Structure formats: structure tokens, C-alpha cells
Amino acid sequence: MLNADDQLEIKRFCFQYLARREHSQLELRQKLSLKGFGGLDISAVLDDLIMNDWQSDQRFAESFFRQCLARGLGPLRIAYELRQRGITDEQTVMDEGQVDWEKQLAGVYQKKFGDNIFLTAREWVKRLRFLQYRGFSSEMIQGLSKGLGLVIK
């Protein structure tokens, strides 16, 4: 049986979370479960929030995508992060963004490493790992190295 007091309390917590930033359904469900609320009560409240457009996974995904871009993340990492937060159609969000990933990669590289084009193999491997961790594919990174004219010794 759904408890009206619990539902009001759940709704109050949801509004507190959503006032700070957008949250996905999965994030809200996890936070509320940690507070000890039952799954049926959580589902009923989340359905109400979605129906009234107070919570939207689409809005969350768009906001989160912009934040990730600002942090210098690449497409692989962003897709992974979105899936971790319950967004299963992450490619649609990323396609709508119309991002120039090569430009994003070049900006991240420039900010972190500067203009030095003469590198040892060890330095290049470190940079490669950093860029892969940020979510850029090996093909993208290889294109960057050719575009910058890096000399690896």
C-alpha cells in the first residue's frame, strides 16, 4: 500500500535535489532508496514528477552533455557517463549537440600540453592515455597527432 506521508516526503526530497540541478530518474531513484523509501512509493512520485514535467531525462541529458563538453570530455566518456546515469539513448543527445569533436580534442590537448611538438615516446604514451581517459578514440587522437605534426622520438 502506498503511504501518502512517505510520498510527500519523497516529493520534498526530489524538489530539493531538482532545485540544485537536473537529475535523471535513476539518480533520484538511487538517492531516495538510500534514504530508505520503498520502490512503489518512489515510482509513484517519479511518475508524477515526469507527468508534470518537473523531471525530464531528456533535459538532464542535455544539461549533463553541456557540462561534460565544458570539462573537456570526449564522446566515448560522455556516452559512458550518460549510461551510468540511466540515459540509454545517449547517442541522440550527442548527435543533437553537433559537436566538432576534432576541435574539442585539439582544445583539450592544447590546454593540457601546449605547443611542444617534439616528444619522446614515453611522453606521447602519457598524453595518449590521458586523451583516451578523457574519452577520445584512438583514431581521433591519431588524427590529432598528424594534424599537429608531432615528432615522436
pLDDT score, position 115: 84
As a whole number of angstroms, the distance between CA 145 and CA 147 comes to 5
**Which residues, including other chains, have CB under 8 Å from residue 52's CB and lie 6 or more apart?**
none
For the record, the C-alpha cell of 144 comes out as 590529432
pTM: 0.87
As a whole number of angstroms, the distance between CA 64 and CA 60 comes to 6
CATH class of 101-152: mainly alpha
For the record, the C-alpha cell of 32 comes out as 531516495
- Per-residue pLDDT in tens (0 to 9) along the chain, 153 residues: 567 788 899 999 999 999 999 999 999 999 999 999 988 889 999 999 999 999 999 999 999 999 999 999 999 999 999 999 999 887 777 776 688 999 999 999 999 998 888 889 899 999 999 999 999 999 999 999 888 887 888
As a whole number of angstroms, the distance between CA 23 and CA 67 comes to 13
138-148 and 121-133 helices, crossing angle to 10°: 130
CA 125 to chain CA centroid, Å, is 25
Write down the H helix ranges in 56-137.
57-70, 75-84, 90-96, 101-113, 121-133
Q: Does the domain made of 4-55 have the CATH classification 1.20.120? A: no
Where along the chain do the CATH 1.10.10 domains lie? 4-55, 101-152
